[in-house]
A and B are shown apart, each in its own frame.
Chain A
Amino acid sequence: MAEITIIEAVNLAMARALENSPDVIIFGEDVGLNGGVFRATDGLQQRYGTDRVLDTPLAETLIAGMAIGMASQGLRPVAEIQFMGFIYPTIEQMICHATRLRNRSRGRITCPMVLRAPYGGGIHAPEHHSESTEAIFAHMPGLRVVIPSSPLRAYGLLLAAIQDPDPVVFLEPKRIYRMMKQEVADDGEALPLDVCFQLRDGTDVTLVTWGAMTHETLQAADQLEAEGVSCDVIDVATIKPLDMETILNSVARTGRCVIVHEAARTCGVGAEIAAQLAEHGLLSLFAPVQRVTGYDTIMPMFKLENDYMPSTDRIIAAVKKTLEEA
């Protein structure tokens, strides 16, 4: 079994899906011969042909709209938006159509599409190439929003997204596309959607995160371990719909919670998790919930991006704050 990166796992999952079903169609800007600007679709057009792996005109509304049209016909479109910073023209298609086609037609027409996009900061990219705006999609009823954080989860969750009977926005943390390698069996096995993944068991504090921030969060947990603080680390993975049960169970054990995300703080997904902890888990809490997030500023250009994104130190400081309370 080969050790592969997240981006290779994304590629492997799409290849497996193309192999397993003639209904799977991959398209987007530069995804054909070029294999995508991050190489997510590398080699797929060569292997599966120009009918099934195709370059579209440069038009994001079109990409989302065509995915909806194809999905309505029973195809399994997997559309790529080149960067999350250019995903906004798809919002009308997603909120007005993809998410509600099944509902509007009373189950007559469905929309099993995947909209993939690399997201997040930390790669010294130009302006508009570092956004984390997953909360925009998480607010849409009828949608799933899935974010992998390791090669195994990238493979298993992308297959799950493609197999899912409803629309999925699949956001790939591009900073960690090539950060780590794992053995991934190309067995076509999907991982479950709508559940969190437990990355580390601990007793003192629950750290909740997703995407590239799992890296800093796990680093913080390591350092805290050395200081005698035991962290439970949860990768939310499917941020919509949210598996609060896993988070609440963990907090019932630890009594403390720190939520870490790269996106801006206000109305970020962390706010929803904190609100639900207040509604359903307040009595297990020994300390106020802490959020370590991007700031409510425009995502700065790359000279300052590391000052914007949560660091291991900021996470450790937040954990210590929760421990200061009784």
Chain B
Amino acid sequence: MTNEEKKCVAQFEIHYTQLLNQQGELVGPLPEFAASAEALIALYRTMVQTRTFDTKAIALQRTGKMGTYSSSLGQEAVSVGIGSAMRFEDVLLPTYREYGAQFQRGVAMSEILRYWGGDERGMAYQHQPHDMPITVPIATHVPQCAGIAYAMKLRNEPRVAVSVLGDGATSKGDFYEGINVAGAWQLPMVVVVTNNQWAISVPRDVQTHAQTLAQKAIAAGIPGEQVDGNDVIAMRHVMLNALERARSGAGPTLIEAITYRMHDHTTADDASRYREQTVVDEHKLLDPIERLKKYITAHHNWDETQENELHETCAAEVEAAVSSYLETPPAPPETMFDHLYETLPDALQSQRDEVERLGKQKQGGDDNG
């Protein structure tokens, strides 16, 4: 039997949204929020802030002042779009390139530096009570996102849980388990796949033969769509719609944001081993910050004075965070037992005592020396 002779029982389409093209020209209907200069400049500012932070963080690592760092260079629009669309009381489950969203949600730059500087206090998020810390084990946060969304649904709260992950992460089973239950239980949840074309050295096409990553949503019975992840207006727009659907009880969405990882995977990686610089250079033309800058310059009188002021403000903000990070002494060693359980079990007391004693000895030794 040929396919023509078989009955078609289901058909699917994947849609793609781009509103600003590479030249910063409007190619789609302007969403309501994007009519306001203020709103666009706020997005621009956060992208510049994120990139300023990123550049400095890499420098800190290179000069031995911080540990391994994962850069979000070139992906700022994805993260900033997500963060700008969420409400404070929503829950973000980030991976390690979501600084642009995290800053908007109250996570301090100094906390992110502390985290990559090897200090748990960088996950305390003193001004963001809801969000999960950065997830390192790939895709493990998607099932958790579903659990959080279930709690919100059970309590009839108009809140949404948002998890962000990479293209590589969509190959993992827990990603699918999470989006599948989100569909089955119609959870208030948005899953954003930041398709930056690389999972360390493994390119997107080696990851899966699927034509798009968004179509993975179809198997889970949820809407899936693509967006130009270097177009912050489109990113925020698509995200706002998905959040609104989830918040109003209309269920989850999977968003595949198409972008490009401009830096090495992390500062411990050397991408020249597996990709040509010429290809990376071609992607510079797609830069999300340049693109919005062109648009606001043309339509909202953004000028070089404002641009310079913005860069100065961002640099000062980052410098303040760096000072705070560098000035924070390490926590006393016995704090490794803090928050292990609500109350430290008796069985662990002697281990804690030992660490405390050795720590004090070391301290005394350091002082004397």
Contact = CB atoms under 8 A, between A and B. Distances in A.
Interface of A: 25, 51-52, 56-57, 59, 61-62, 64-75, 77, 89, 92-93, 96-97, 102-110, 141-142, 144, 165-166, 194, 241-245
A277 B151 CA distance: 45
Given A106-B124, A241-B345, A61 B340 contact: no
B125 A102 contact: no
B149 A69 contact: yes
B159 to A, nearest CB: 10
Given A105-B124, A166-B341, A66 B140 contact: no
A67 B146 CA distance: 9
Given A66-B143, A69-B143, A242 B132 contact: no
Contacts of A166: 341-342
B125 A65 contact: no
Interface of B: 120-121, 123-125, 129, 132-133, 136-137, 140-152, 154, 161, 173-174, 177-178, 180-181, 184, 338-342, 345-348
Contacts of A77: 147
Given A57-B184, A62-B180, A105-B132, 4 more contacts: A73-B147, A89-B173, A108-B125, A144-B341
9 contacts: A56-B181, A61-B177, A64-B143, A93-B143, A96-B137, A103-B340, A107-B339, A194-B347, A243-B346
What are the nearest 7 A-B pairs in CB distance?
A69-B147, A65-B143, A66-B147, A73-B151, A241-B347, A241-B345, A62-B177
A65 B347 contact: no
A55 to B, nearest CB: 10
A50 to B, nearest CB: 11
B347 A69 contact: no
Contacts of A66: 143-144, 146-147, 150, 181
A74 B177 CA distance: 23
A105 B125 contact: yes
A141 B352 CA distance: 13
B154 A75 contact: yes
A102 B339 contact: yes
A242 B161 CA distance: 37
Given A57-B184, A102-B340, A106-B339, A65 B121 contact: no
A241 B341 CA distance: 11
A76 to B, nearest CB: 11
B41 to A, nearest CB: 32
Contacts of A194: 345-347
A303 B208 CA distance: 44
B151 A108 contact: no
A106 B346 contact: no
B330 to A, nearest CB: 14
Given A103-B338, A166-B341, A241-B347, A68 B147 contact: yes
B123 A106 contact: yes
A93 B140 contact: yes
A102 B341 contact: yes
Contacts of B148: 69-70, 72-73
Given A62-B178, A194-B347, A69 B340 contact: no
Contacts of A73: 147-148, 151-152
Contacts of A74: 151
A25 B161 CA distance: 19
B120 A96 contact: no
Nearest to A111: B144
A306 to B, nearest CB: 34
Nearest to A99: B340
B346 A109 contact: no
Contact of A67 (B140, B147, B339, B346): B147
Contacts of A93: 140, 143-144
Contacts of B338: 103, 106-107
A71 B132 CA distance: 12
A241 B120 CA distance: 23
A243 B349 CA distance: 12
Contacts of B146: 62, 65-66, 69
Given A65-B143, A105-B124, A241-B348, A70 B150 contact: yes
- Of A56, A97, A242, most buried by chain B (CB within 10 Å of CB) is A97
Contact of A57 (B136, B142, B177, B340): B177
- Of B125, B129, B181, B184, most buried by chain A (CB within 10 Å of CB) is B181
- Of A73, A103, A244, most buried by chain B (CB within 10 Å of CB) is A73
A66 B142 CA distance: 9
Contact of B144 (A72, A104, A107, A245): A72
- Of A64, A144, A244, most buried by chain B (CB within 10 Å of CB) is A64
B178 A65 contact: yes
A137 to B, nearest CB: 15
B346 A65 contact: no
B150 A69 contact: yes
A69 B132 CA distance: 10
Nearest to B161: A69
Contacts of A241: 345-348
A65 B142 contact: yes
Nearest to B137: A96
